[in-house]
Amino acid sequence: MELGKEVKMGDTVEEEPNFSEDPPNPNPESESETLIFNNNNNHRELLKAIEVVERDSFAIAQSFTSVFASLRLSLSQSTDTSLHHIQCFTDAAGHLQESVLDAATKGNRYINSCLKLNEEMKSIDSLASQLYPITLLIAN
């Protein structure tokens, strides 16, 4: 009975006889032709199997190519982003350095101005001590 063959109700099923040994073949030439035919079928099956493996290998290679291209693009974008962040950080650090230098220069000028004012105040102290008795006379 063949596999995949449907059996309907009412159909009679005849089983093929199963010989454990093939009956002797009276024609040896047909036996060699059968072997050649079987070898050709085996070669065809082998070639079909190789073709399937080649197609699958090609599909897998294309998938890997796609994955690696995607990874390369992601890495490139990540690197570009990192470079952009580094450039922004460098610019910000440069601006901060300029601002700090400017603030330090202004702070030094302020300190120098305060020191000059302090020196001038010393001379005014002597003037104030001279004017103090006069203010007392005027206030009375």
Domain tally, the chain = 1
Host domain of residue 78 = 33-108
Q: Which residues contact 15 (CB under 8 A, 6 or more apart)?
A: 1
Tell me whether residue 16 is in a domain.
no
* pLDDT tens-digit readout, 19-32: 444 555 555 555 55
* pLDDT tens-digit readout, 45-66: 888 889 999 999 999 999 999 9
Tell me whether residue 7 is in a domain.
no
pLDDT of amino acid 14: 46
Question: Which two tokens mark 132?
Answer: 């103090």
* pLDDT tens-digit readout, 66-121: 999 988 888 888 888 888 888 999 999 999 999 999 999 999 999 999 999 888 88
**Cβ proximity of 7 and 13 under 8 Å:** yes
Tell me whether residue 132 is in a domain.
no
Tell me whether residue 127 is in a domain.
no
Task: Decide if pLDDT at 12 tops 80.
Answer: no
**Cβ proximity of 36 and 50 under 8 Å:** no
Tell me whether residue 21 is in a domain.
no
Tell me whether residue 138 is in a domain.
no
**Cβ proximity of 55 and 40 under 8 Å:** no
Tell me whether residue 14 is in a domain.
no
Tell me whether residue 23 is in a domain.
no
pTM of the model: 0.40
**8-25 mean pLDDT:** 48
Task: Decide if pLDDT at 41 tops 90.
Answer: no
